[in-house]
A and B are shown apart, each in its own frame.
Chain A
Amino acid sequence: MMINKKAIPPNLAMRLYDGITSPKMYVITKGVEHRVSGLVSLSHSQVNTRALASCHFVVTPAWMEEIPRVRCDEPWRAPEDPEWHIDNEGYLCAELGLRWADEIKQTYCQRGACAAADYAAKWLLNSTATLLYRQRLRFRGVIPRWQNQWNYWAHWRAGEAEYRMQKERA
């Protein structure tokens, strides 16, 4: 089933907006990009924390194929470094784009656009929170290096190859 782009409202940005904490902002730029800024709770998995991170999400109309870009401007954020999954422009590499597109498409085909947006928002916020909390542990001095038990894709193009191989095996 192909994604009918005209039929999809740009509702991921609104769900991200609903999922973050004030002070927050929603701006539509050039009628195309939906920019959401606010505080993301860093609670995730078995971690319950009051910690928040100021983040900016850029959601394009093609969010089902292109993972939204996420930026965190907190002073404690890790520097641009492959080990901590921050690209050269300071964006978080919270998930592999290829996997994102596959998973969202699958959800859209099975449950529709609203479910896909719910799913995308929850996924992006959870991955962002997890990555930033680990960076916060680095800042605190608890964990100076990325831990082996924390899953990650091989870097750059090798990550896509790893994903394809994993998909084929499945």
Chain B
Amino acid sequence: MIRTVPLRQLIESTKRGAQYFASGEVDSSREVGFHIYGEIRLSLKMTAAEDTNDAQRYLSILQDYASIANACANVAQAELLEVQGERIHVLMPCPRADRSAVDRVISFAISLSDLVYKKIGAKAGKEFQGFALAADHGEALLLHSGNGSSGSIISLGPAANAPAKRLGIAQDGTVKTPAQHLAMKSEILKAIGYVPESCEWTNIKVMDASIVFAHLSDADLTTRMNFSADDELARNPVPQSVISATSSYFSGPSYSPSQALKLSAFCLRADLDGFTREVQNAFDTGHTQKLLQRFIAITEFAKQFASMPDRKIISLPWAGDCANMIVLPKVVGESYSDAQMYVPAQIPAEWHSQVKGGGNMPNPASKAMGVSRWAVACVGGELEGESSPVILLATLRTTTRDFVIAAGWSVGRSADALEAQDVRGCDTVIAYEDYQALDSTYKELFVELDSRFWISRDLDVHRIKNKCAAASVQITGPYVPSARRNVPDPKPHWQHDD
């Protein structure tokens, strides 16, 4: 059942101790406003922390960051919608992107940046590499399915989607929005009389703001946000203790979500390509309820996918129309290295097959897809090297809300994979590091996309099966020089003693 509720009620339902929803119950809200995303950037030593002390410190930094974001949003009469590790998503409700609203957003960005640089910068020290923001204005559908899931709210709509992409990595490997900057749509800035860069987005410097925006630096707002953040930080619960875990951790009765886990695993990210356009169409035609029902069916599909019988898959909060999961090696008979030889290709293939209604676990949710198609990325990383497969799975606890997050090199890389140029629905994207580790038969299903990623179009379980079965066939065995002949083709039999 989908209930339409005011935004405030939606936020209340995400608070710790709020009433649990029955299965299938969803609260939704339709809001117009500025969607502001912030991203702290930390060194790989932190984000891919293999050392438990570093991971603990990283978690503590993220928790402070979430608290600061929550406090600042409250002061600015905005709402913290999501915390996705190093990214936060704030909604500042306002019906129009007029001068006053844009000024508010820029003032908020200036004050928040100031606090993040002071507080997170001091805590992270030399591992802190900056903070950037991106914002867009428009209508969005907001959803929450009860506090049993996470404090994060799903937001659907072009304005809720675009800024997140703007914080990603560009084709040439550089960040689209540099640290100390706020990216805004150029047309919004034009509307307030600012002559922006001649491209879709303009980056505005908000730390040590340029003379054009210096007047928007609001000392009073910064002071109030500072007090509020200090108050929230002082009341912050103690961060969870971080422990290392493997797949077997989840098979026993000892699993407790109160612990933060360090896992060598893969991050699966599935983006519903085309769905944002469908949301816009639904706004234009007034069919948002139907669209929500379809989206809920799609989330059910993801839930079912995550319940594989022989493998632990941990569902994370959705990021807009992107499903996020942590895929672990099998509990028995598989290390991370073993899994890296096929999981980055096979798990997305399984996803695509299940969408089509095939695969090992048939799924009937394909009807809900409409014209949208999944693009799927699955990223692990190298056990030795900077691109570590260690993922930190934790619950960030602010004074009122809990946010389940996953952080690590692969989490960011999987998001970048789906932002890479020419990636579209039905594609499977893997990282260069994982491609190198694949069995040759799986490798042959991929082509190079750019220096970071390899891609397979229309990958599914049948293609992998056919490829693997054919590659293992031998007409003749290898040649033995001393015998001057090939060994026979492998031809096993079976016998038993009488």
- A residues sitting closer than 8 Å to B (CB atoms) are 44-51, 74-76, 82, 85-89, 92-96, 99, 103, 107, 110-111, 114-116, 118-119, 122-123, 126-127, 130-131, 133-134, 137, 139-144, 147, 149-157, 159
Q: In the bound complex, do residue B495 and residue A47 qualify as a contact, i.e. CB atoms below 8 Å apart?
A: no
Q: In the bound complex, do residue B487 and residue A126 qualify as a contact, i.e. CB atoms below 8 Å apart?
A: yes
Tell me, rounded to whole Å, the shortest Cβ–Cβ distance linking B389 to chain A.
15
> Does B469 lie at the interface of the complex (its beta carbon under 8 Å from any beta carbon of A)?
yes
> Does B96 lie at the interface of the complex (its beta carbon under 8 Å from any beta carbon of A)?
no
The CA of A142 and the CA of B346, in the complex, are separated in Å by 8
The CA of A88 and the CA of B495, in the complex, are separated in Å by 8
Task: Tell me which of B341, B483, B494 contacts A155 (CB under 8 A).
Answer: B494
Q: In the bound complex, do residue B333 and residue A107 qualify as a contact, i.e. CB atoms below 8 Å apart?
A: no
* Contact bitstring B465-484, A, C-beta under 8 A = 1, else 0: 10011111110011011111
> Does B386 lie at the interface of the complex (its beta carbon under 8 Å from any beta carbon of A)?
no
The CA of A87 and the CA of B493, in the complex, are separated in Å by 9
Given contacts A96-B493, A126-B477, A156-B496, contact A47 B310 (CB under 8 A): no
Q: In the bound complex, do residue A131 and residue B482 qualify as a contact, i.e. CB atoms below 8 Å apart?
A: no
Which of B330, B332, B338 is packed against the most chain A CB atoms within 10 Å? B338
Interface residues of B in 306-360 (CB under 8 A from A): 310, 330, 332-334, 337-338, 341-342, 346, 350, 360
The CA of A168 and the CA of B494, in the complex, are separated in Å by 22
Can you report 22 A-B residue pairs in the complex whose CB atoms are below 8 A from each other? A44-B472, A44-B490, A46-B441, A49-B439, A74-B333, A76-B334, A82-B494, A85-B492, A88-B496, A93-B493, A94-B490, A95-B491, A96-B493, A115-B480, A126-B477, A126-B490, A142-B342, A142-B465, A144-B360, A151-B489, A156-B495, A159-B494
Number of interface residues of B (CB under 8 A): 45
Q: In the bound complex, do residue A150 and residue B487 qualify as a contact, i.e. CB atoms below 8 Å apart?
A: no
Task: Tell me which of B469, B482, B484 contacts A114 (CB under 8 A).
Answer: B482
Q: In the bound complex, do residue B492 and residue A94 qualify as a contact, i.e. CB atoms below 8 Å apart?
A: yes
Q: In the bound complex, do residue A137 and residue B468 qualify as a contact, i.e. CB atoms below 8 Å apart?
A: yes
Q: In the bound complex, do residue B487 and residue A50 qualify as a contact, i.e. CB atoms below 8 Å apart?
A: no
Q: In the bound complex, do residue A87 and residue B496 qualify as a contact, i.e. CB atoms below 8 Å apart?
A: yes
- Secondary structure type dominating chain B contacts: loop
Q: In the bound complex, do residue B483 and residue A150 qualify as a contact, i.e. CB atoms below 8 Å apart?
A: no
Q: In the bound complex, do residue A118 and residue B480 qualify as a contact, i.e. CB atoms below 8 Å apart?
A: yes
Q: Which residues of A contact B310 (CB under 8 A)?
A: 141
Which chain B residue lies CB-closest to A85? B492
Q: In the bound complex, do residue A115 and residue B341 qualify as a contact, i.e. CB atoms below 8 Å apart?
A: no
Q: In the bound complex, do residue B333 and residue A47 qualify as a contact, i.e. CB atoms below 8 Å apart?
A: no
Q: In the bound complex, do residue A122 and residue B338 qualify as a contact, i.e. CB atoms below 8 Å apart?
A: no
Tell me, rounded to whole Å, the shortest Cβ–Cβ distance linking A72 to chain B.
12
Q: In the bound complex, do residue B440 and residue A47 qualify as a contact, i.e. CB atoms below 8 Å apart?
A: yes
Q: Which residues of A contact B471 (CB under 8 A)?
A: 45-47
Q: Which residues of A contact B337 (CB under 8 A)?
A: 50
Given contacts A115-B483, A118-B480, contact A150 B469 (CB under 8 A): yes
Given contacts A45-B473, A141-B360, A147-B469, contact A127 B492 (CB under 8 A): yes
The CA of A132 and the CA of B235, in the complex, are separated in Å by 57
Tell me, rounded to whole Å, the shortest Cβ–Cβ distance linking A51 to chain B.
6
Which chain B residue lies CB-closest to A111? B483
The CA of A87 and the CA of B337, in the complex, are separated in Å by 29
> Does B464 lie at the interface of the complex (its beta carbon under 8 Å from any beta carbon of A)?
yes
Given contacts A46-B441, A51-B439, A131-B490, contact A118 B472 (CB under 8 A): no
